[in-house]
Amino acid sequence: MRGAAEDMEDVFDKRIAPILEKAMGEISDWPYFRALTPKGPGEVTVEGRPSVMAGCNDYLGLACDPRVTEAAAEAVRRYGASCSGSRSLNGTMVLHEELEHRIAAFLERPAALVTTTGFQANLMLTALLERGDTVFSDMSNHASLVDAVRLSPAARRRYRHRDLDHLERLLSAAGPDTAKLIVTDGLFSMEGDVCPLPGLGTLARRHGARLVVDGAHDIGLLGERGRGVAEHFGLMDAVDLQTGTLSKCFGSLGGFVAGPEHIVRFLRYTARPFVFTAAMSPASAAAALAALTVIETEPDRRQRVFNHAERLHNGLRALGYTTSPSVTPVVPVHIGDELLCLRAWQELLDHGVYTNAVIPPGVPSHRSLIRVTAQATHTEEQITRILDAFAAVGRLLRLVPRGAPDDYEPVDLIRPRHHATAPLPAESP
């Protein structure tokens, strides 16, 4: 008997999104929270089922690289499994210091600070924002940037995705009396397009705003030496503060901010998501250090990812799929309807290919997509298997027109130029 309490509001009175509940009832093979085991380059088992891995952020194929895994194992033996404390008290190890120096040097920034995740690196921005400040945020920014702004007392203005005219109008309307910060992803994780950095830099200068770029998906991948969108556009100085993750191109776990010495120092002592949490593990720091060496010395990995991405984009377009507007190894295959997208994911898995099904809130409603990613360690044969699976599933679910389309527009990827002086090692181990 709960009596009157039955009529009361209850904070536990919660349900997940109706679309998920509906889909769970209709889709037998669920795309989320599946237990995966890596089985060599580009291969994974999904609860025992062998598949080509076409849905992960380890673009350079470093998470299982023996140099990276051995560095992690050695760090565990030497320093233990955990730092058991925050960086400021007992959690700092020489590995963190070395990683901070190496990241700062790599990104040509005066200083860097490493965090336990990339999400935290972005959340630290709250420390910079005060009441009366205004943040201008791309509508497609990652949740961690969104939450950083939401948690701060600053006013929030969201500009339409990559729309510089809209941003300029919002900046002008804010007036000169507010301190301004523009925040953007470098490479957008779901659509695979990149921020319009030259225009953002111009607007930031014109309106006296600071510019923060989250390089989670582009650092390691874009630019001649892998230093991200800033290097790709030849505009390293346009970015005031760079954030990023170590969980994608670096094949590890952790995040970083890199920028002016006094700001990094301020964040080190002030940013609550950094101060009040345990330090990144020794294994993660050592793995990231080993991965950074590979990123710096093996530029051909970037070329390989882009070669595979080009085959994927053009192969999918030739089948009749739409992959625009991506210009990178994140290849969004537009499906639209949520349930159809989940069915396509399921059929692709049945055809031996693991992808990512992205439905709301990851994308706006009716804009669901299958996210396919290229990896440096994919073989040509694996790329063929991915395309063959899409051909079969496209026919089965009528996602593409019957027969090959008469023509399709080849995608124009933004390729990293080759680093002229770096060695060209053989195919990765």
Ligand X SMILES: Cc1ncc(COP(=O)(O)O)c(C=O)c1O
> Which residue ranges make up the site for ligand X (CB under 6 A)?
117-119, 122, 142, 144, 185, 189, 214, 216-217, 245, 247, 255
- In this structure, what token pair is assigned to residue 250? 């670096």
Shortest separation between residue 191's beta carbon and ligand X, angstroms: 11
* C-beta closer to ligand X: residue 233 or 390: 233
Looking at the DSSP bridge assignments, the partners of residue 155 are 134
Shortest separation between residue 386's beta carbon and ligand X, angstroms: 22
* C-beta closer to ligand X: residue 144 or 382: 144
* C-beta closer to ligand X: residue 63 or 389: 63
Shortest separation between residue 312's beta carbon and ligand X, angstroms: 20
Residues 329, 305 contacting (CB under 8 angstroms)? yes
The CB-nearest residue to ligand X is: 118
Amino acid residing at 295: I
Q: In what order do the strands lie in the sheet with 134-138?
A: 111-115, 255-259, 241-245, 209-214, 180-185, 134-138, 155-159
Shortest separation between residue 242's beta carbon and ligand X, angstroms: 12
* C-beta closer to ligand X: residue 248 or 313: 248
* C-beta closer to ligand X: residue 118 or 251: 118
Shortest separation between residue 337's beta carbon and ligand X, angstroms: 24
Residues 235, 100 contacting (CB under 8 angstroms)? no
Shortest separation between residue 250's beta carbon and ligand X, angstroms: 10
Shortest separation between residue 173's beta carbon and ligand X, angstroms: 27
Residues in the chain: 429
Q: What string of H, E and C letters represents the secondary structure of the chain?
A: CCHHHHHCCCCCCCCCCHHHHHHHHHCCCCCCCCCEEECCCCEEEECCEEEEECCCCCCCCCCCCHHHHHHHHHHHHHHCCCCCCEHHHHHCCHHHHHHHHHHHHHCCCCEEEEECCHHHHHHHHHHHCCCCCEEEEECCCCHHHHHHHHHCCCEEEEECCCCHHHHHHHHHHHCCCCCEEEEEECECCCCCCECCHHHHHHHHHHCCEEEEEECCCCECCCCCCCECHHHHCCCHHHCCEEEEECCCCCCCCCEEEEECHHHHHHHHHHCHHHHCCECCCHHHHHHHHHHHHHHHHCCHHHHHHHHHHHHHHHHHHHHCCCCCCCCCCEEEEEEECHHHHHHHHHHHHHCCEECEEECCCCCCCCCEEEEEECCCCCCHHHHHHHHHHHHHHHHHCCCCCCCCCCCCCCCCCCCCCCCCCCCCCCCCC
* C-beta closer to ligand X: residue 154 or 219: 219
Shortest separation between residue 15's beta carbon and ligand X, angstroms: 25
Shortest separation between residue 118's beta carbon and ligand X, angstroms: 3
* C-beta closer to ligand X: residue 146 or 319: 146
* C-beta closer to ligand X: residue 230 or 399: 230
Task: Give CA–CA dist 358/141, Å, rounded.
Answer: 15
Among the listed residues 186, 411, 425, the one whose alpha carbon sits nearest the alpha carbon of residue 301: 425
* C-beta closer to ligand X: residue 91 or 255: 255
What pairing do the DSSP bridges indicate for beta strands 241-245 and 353-354?
unpaired
Which of the residues are catalytic?
A: 189, 217, 248
